[in-house]
Amino acid sequence: SGGEKKLVSIATILSMTPDIILMDEPSVALDPQNRRNLIRVLNEFDHLKIIASHDLDFIWDTCNRVILMADGQIVADGPVEEILRNQELLEKNGLELPLSLRRR
């Protein structure tokens, strides 16, 4: 499937041991199993990951720092838990709390 090919491509890039990996919406079009596999693979990658995504649950599971941008400007920069738990900040910038937090 397309998701499996995407995961293989990402794994291939990571096997080249780059110092930095940049990703734009990496979880788009992945089924739940491949999404979990991608999270596992990225969490095993020890170098710098820069991930642009609206999938805040994915960000919660893979990142330790968030830089929130709106209209090309940085509006917040800090630990994942601090930024992604701030409902007012997220909503002010067109986002919602991650689904995993809304269930708690």
Cα–Cα nearest to 22, from 44, 43, 53, 1: 53
Q: Which amino acid is at 39?
A: I
Lowest mean pLDDT among 16-20, 37-41, 82-86: 16-20
Question: What does the alpha-carbon distance between residue 99 and residue 96 come to, in Å, rounded to a whole number?
Answer: 8
Q: Strands, DSSP E only, in 11-81?
A: 20-24, 48-52, 65-70, 73-79
Q: Would the pLDDT of 5 be above 80?
A: no
**Which of 11-15, 41-45, 58-62, 66-70 comes out lowest in average pLDDT?**
11-15
pTM of the model: 0.83
Residues in CB range of 10: below 8 A, 6 or more apart: 23, 26, 38, 41
Using DSSP's 3-state secondary structure scheme, residue 76 falls into strand
Task: State pLDDT tens for residues 49-68.
Answer: 999 999 999 999 999 999 99
